[in-house]
Amino acid sequence: MGTDTSQKVRFNIIDTPGHIDFTSEVKRSMRVLDGAVVVFDGVAGVEPQSETNWRYAEEAEVPRLCYINKLDRTGASFEKSYASILDRLSNKAVRMQIPIGLEDKFEGVIDLLSMKSYHFEGEMGTNVVAGDVPENLKAEAEKYRHELVERIVENDDALMHEYLEGKEISTDVLKKTLRKAVIENKIFPVFTGSSLKNKGVQLVLDAVVDYLPSPLDLPPAKGTNPETGEDESREASDNAPFAALVFKLQVDPFVGALSFFRMYSGTIKAGDFVYNATTRKKERLGRIVRLQADKREDLKEVYAGEIAAAVGLKEIKIGQTLCDEDHPIALESIVFPEPVISMRIEPKTKVDQEKMGVALSRLSDEDPTFRVASDPETMETIVSGMGELHLEIIVDRMRREFGVEASTGKPQVAYRETINGTADVEYKHIKQTGGRGQYGHVKIRVKPLEPVEEGKKIKNNVEREDHFEFINSIKGGVIPQEYIQPVKKGVKEAMERGIQAGFPVVDVSVELYDGSYHDVDSSEIAFKLAAINAMQSAMKQAKPVILEPIMKLEVVTPEKFMGDVTGSINSKRGQIEAMGERGQARVITAKVPLSELFGFTTQLRSLTEGRAVPNLEFSHYAIVPGNVAQTIIEARK
C-alpha cells in the first residue's frame, strides 16, 4: 500500500531477473505491462544490464519511473546515481525527491512537488510521517523544485505562460500535467529510498498510481484478423470483444500447467470456451487463478486490463492470442532473441532418458530462448540458450523439478554459414529407369541478401523470410507454377547444411530465372532435387564463409587490473571499443567472439582477485578469419 489508504487500486507487478541470460523475461514483461519501475543501485548507479533493459523499454515505448534504491549502503550517492541516469540513459529524467541524509544517516525523503519531508517509522517503516522540510535542506529543495516545475510546465503551453508570468501553479495541476508527460514518455520521474528498510517504497507505489498509465490511458491493442489479414484493434473495455495475450507458461507442482495471460479487452468467466487465433482451435477455460508470489486465488471472472493465469490449457504457446470466436484477432506477438550457445546433453540412465524428453519439452515451452534439437548425424540432443548460466540453470531445474540426472558436453557455438560472392548455376536432374523417368531443370542465381530499406515495398515475385529471399523470375511458364514451391523447398533444404562445415546457411538471396520441364517425366520431387543440387554447387562457387556470434562484453574492474584485463581480451581476438570510468572503477567495452569466451568468467576472477564483473550480451554475427575457419572445418569432419 502507498501512503493514501483511502483509495484502493489494484496493480499487477512483475518482478524480472536482472541477469542478461534471462533477458526474455524482461522482453515479455515489457510487451504485456503498461509501465515500468526501473530500479538502480544507489552505489553503482546505472549498470550495463540496466542499459539493456532500458533499451527494451524504449523499443516497447513503455512509460517509466526510476527508483534509486539502497541509499543506506556505504558509498551510496543519490546525486552520482542520478547523474549516471542522465548521462547513460536519458536526459528526460528529473528528480522528484531528494534524500535526507545518506548511508547510515539516511532517514527519509523530501517530496519536491508538495515540499514535505517524509520519515518512515515503526516496525519496517510502516508509519509514514509527513513533516516540514528540514531547515538545512530548504535552499537545495527550493532550487530543485524550480527545476522540476519548469520541466513539467514545458509540456503545456498555457501553463508555461502562467508560470512565466509568475503565477503559482497548484500541485494538482502540476500532477495532472506530469502524468500526461510521463505517459507520453516525455519525462521519467526519479524517486529514491531503501527497500530493505522499507523507506521510500510507499511513495513509489503512490507514484505508480499517480503517474504510470492505467489500461485506459493507452491506445487500443493492435492486431490482425486471422481470417482476412486486415488490421484490427481492441479498446481496453469490458464491453469490447474478448482478447488476451498469453505471455508465460509455467508448470506448477500443485495445479499443473499455468498459462499467464494479459486481458486487453472484454471479460471471460471460468468455464467459458476460448478460441486460439493461431491454432484456430477452441479450448475450455476450466479454472482461472490470480497469483501473488506463491499464493493462488480462484477467480470467477476476469476483466479488461487484468493479468491472470488459466489452469490446464493443453495446446497453447507463448505469444498466442485467446479471443472470442465470433470476433477473432491475433494480437502482436512477442519477439524473443535467438539463442547463441548450445551444448550436448545426455541422460545418465535409461529411466532418465524417458523423463528427459518430457522435461526438455516442458522447459522449452516455458522459455522461448531455450531450444532443443537433435543432431541428425550424431543423434545427440543439443540444447541452446542465451549463455552458460542460462543452460546451467536449465540442467539444475531438470534435476530439481523433474528428477532427471543428465550430463552435459562442452558448450558449442551456434556458427552459421553464408556467401560473400555471387554465382549462376544450371542443374538438370534426369533419371531414366524403365517406365516414368524424372526430369527437373533449373537455373538459379545466388547473391548475398541485402536488407530492405525502410518504406521500400517488396516486389510481388519476391518471397522474403528471416535471413532468406526467394525471387521467382520465371516468364512464360518455362517452369509450371506447381513446380516453383518445390524449387523453393529444395533451396531451403540445401541451406539447412552449409557446404563448408554443415552449419545452417543464412542471408542468401536466390533467384530462379530459367529452366525447362518435361510433360511426362517432370514431378515435384524432380524439381526439388534439381534445386538442392543447384544450390549446393552455387554455394561452393559464391565464396562461402563461416559466421560466428560476436558478443558485446563489458568488464567493470578496479583500475589496477586494467592492463591484465585488456591483455586477456586482446588474446581472445577481442576488439576493445571504449574505456571509461564508473565511480572508482574502470569500464572496458569490447566485442569478442563467443567461441573464445568459454571459461572467461573464471579466468577474469583469478586475474582480478574476484573483483571484476563481466557482462555479456549477443551483438551480431561476423565472418570468421580464415585460419579459425580452417580449424572449425577440421573439427567438424
Residues 6+ apart with CB under 8 A from 157: none
Buried b (16+ CB within 10 A) or exposed e, 181-220: bbbeeebbbbbbbbeeebbbbbbbbbbbebbbbebebbee
End-of-domain residue from the set 331, 360, 389: 331
How far, in Å, CA of 200 to CA of 181, rounded? Answer: 23
pLDDT band at 387 (very low <50, low <70, confident <90, very high): confident
Please check whether residues 189 and 50 belong to one and the same domain.
yes
Q: Which position has the higher pLDDT, 179 or 56?
A: 179
pLDDT of residue 589: 94
Residue among 174, 168, 183, 171 at smallest CA distance from 154: 174
In a domain, 12, yes or no: no
CATH of the domain at 441: 3.30.230.10
pLDDT of residue 6: 54
User: Quick check: 172 pLDDT over 70?
Assistant: yes
For 305, list phi and psi in degrees, rounded to 5: 95, -10
Please check whether residues 259 and 188 belong to one and the same domain.
no
How far, in Å, CA of 598 to CA of 560, rounded? Answer: 24
Is 15 labelled as part of a ligand binding site?
yes
The per-residue pLDDT for range 424-459, each reduced to its tens digit, is 999 999 987 767 789 999 999 999 998 877 767 778
10-24, 527-541, 589-603: range with lowest mean pLDDT: 10-24
CA dist list (Å): 564 to 145, 584, 611, 613, 614: 46, 18, 13, 14, 14
Contact assessment for residue 537 and residue 445, using Cβ atoms and an 8 Å cutoff:
no
Please check whether residues 77 and 144 belong to one and the same domain.
yes
In a domain, 21, yes or no: no
Which one-letter amino acid corresponds to residue 112? L
| Overall domain count for the chain | 5
End-of-domain residue from the set 542, 566, 596: 542
The per-residue pLDDT for range 43-75, each reduced to its tens digit, is 888 887 787 788 778 878 899 999 999 988 888
Is 72 labelled as part of a ligand binding site?
yes
Residues 6+ apart with CB under 8 A from 269: 285, 300, 301
CA dist list (Å): 376 to 26, 400, 502, 536: 34, 29, 11, 19
In a domain, 562, yes or no: yes
pLDDT band at 298 (very low <50, low <70, confident <90, very high): confident
How far, in Å, CA of 137 to CA of 102, rounded? Answer: 13
Please check whether residues 320 and 356 belong to one and the same domain.
no
Across 197-210, average pLDDT: 88
Is 544 labelled as part of a ligand binding site?
no
- State the residue range of the domain holding 518: 417-542
Instruction: Match 523470375 to its residue by C-alpha cell.
Output: 473
Looking at the chain, how many residues does it have? 637
Please check whether residues 164 and 183 belong to one and the same domain.
yes
443 forms beta bridges with: 426, 514
The per-residue pLDDT for range 260-286, each reduced to its tens digit, is 999 998 899 888 889 888 888 898 888
Across 399-409, average pLDDT: 86
User: Quick check: 254 pLDDT over 70?
Assistant: yes
Contact assessment for residue 420 and residue 448, using Cβ atoms and an 8 Å cutoff:
yes
How far, in Å, CA of 637 to CA of 590, rounded? Answer: 32
H helix runs in 14-156, sequence order: 23-32, 48-59, 78-88, 135-153
CATH of the domain at 389: 3.30.70.870
pLDDT band at 32 (very low <50, low <70, confident <90, very high): confident
Furthest CA-CA distance within the chain: 104
CATH of the domain at 57: 3.40.50.300
Highest mean pLDDT: which range of 306-315, 332-341, 452-461, 570-579: 570-579
User: Quick check: 311 pLDDT over 70?
Assistant: yes
pLDDT band at 413 (very low <50, low <70, confident <90, very high): confident
Across 486-500, average pLDDT: 94
Contact assessment for residue 104 and residue 197, using Cβ atoms and an 8 Å cutoff:
no
SS3 assignment for 358-418: HHHHHHHHHCCCCEEEECCCCCCEEEEECCHHHHHHHHHHHHHHHCCCEEEEEEEECCEEE
Across 619-624, average pLDDT: 92
How far, in Å, CA of 62 to CA of 65, rounded? Answer: 10
Q: What is the DSSP string of 299-321?
A: ESEE-TT-EEEEE--SS--TT-E
Contact assessment for residue 379 and residue 373, using Cβ atoms and an 8 Å cutoff:
no
In a domain, 25, yes or no: no
Look up the pTM and report it: 0.67
Highest mean pLDDT: which range of 132-141, 158-167, 528-537: 528-537
End-of-domain residue from the set 280, 301, 331: 331
User: Quick check: 187 pLDDT over 80?
Assistant: yes
Average pLDDT, rounded, for the chain: 87
User: Quick check: 545 pLDDT over 90?
Assistant: yes
301-302 vs 221-224, strand pairing mode: unpaired
In a domain, 24, yes or no: no
pLDDT of residue 1: 39
Task: Report DSSP state, residue 104.
Answer: G
pLDDT of residue 60: 83
Is 19 labelled as part of a ligand binding site?
yes
Is 466 labelled as part of a ligand binding site?
no
Please check whether residues 460 and 522 belong to one and the same domain.
yes
Q: How many CB atoms are closer than 10 A to CB 550?
A: 21
How far, in Å, CA of 378 to CA of 381, rounded? Answer: 9
In a domain, 55, yes or no: yes
How far, in Å, CA of 93 to CA of 90, rounded? Answer: 6
User: Quick check: 5 pLDDT over 60?
Assistant: no
Is 460 labelled as part of a ligand binding site?
no
The percent of residues in the chain predicted with pLDDT above 90, rounded, is: 32
Residues 6+ apart with CB under 8 A from 488: 463, 470, 512, 531
340 forms beta bridges with: none
Is 71 labelled as part of a ligand binding site?
yes
User: Quick check: 2 pLDDT over 50?
Assistant: no
pLDDT band at 38 (very low <50, low <70, confident <90, very high): very high
Please check whether residues 77 and 186 belong to one and the same domain.
yes
Please check whether residues 515 and 601 belong to one and the same domain.
no
Please check whether residues 526 and 475 belong to one and the same domain.
yes
Residue among 40, 122, 119 at smallest CA distance from 87: 40
In a domain, 113, yes or no: yes
pLDDT band at 377 (very low <50, low <70, confident <90, very high): low
The per-residue pLDDT for range 555-606, each reduced to its tens digit, is 888 888 899 999 999 999 999 999 988 766 788 999 999 888 887 877 887 8
User: Quick check: 108 pLDDT over 80?
Assistant: yes
Please check whether residues 537 and 444 belong to one and the same domain.
yes
How far, in Å, CA of 244 to CA of 360, rounded? Answer: 27
Please check whether residues 59 and 166 belong to one and the same domain.
yes
Please check whether residues 316 and 230 belong to one and the same domain.
yes
In a domain, 6, yes or no: no
Is 239 labelled as part of a ligand binding site?
no
pLDDT of residue 472: 94
pLDDT band at 488 (very low <50, low <70, confident <90, very high): very high
CATH of the domain at 562: 3.30.70.240
User: Quick check: 468 pLDDT over 60?
Assistant: yes
Is 18 labelled as part of a ligand binding site?
yes
636 is written with which cell numbers?
Answer: 567438424
User: Quick check: 7 pLDDT over 70?
Assistant: no
pLDDT of residue 571: 93
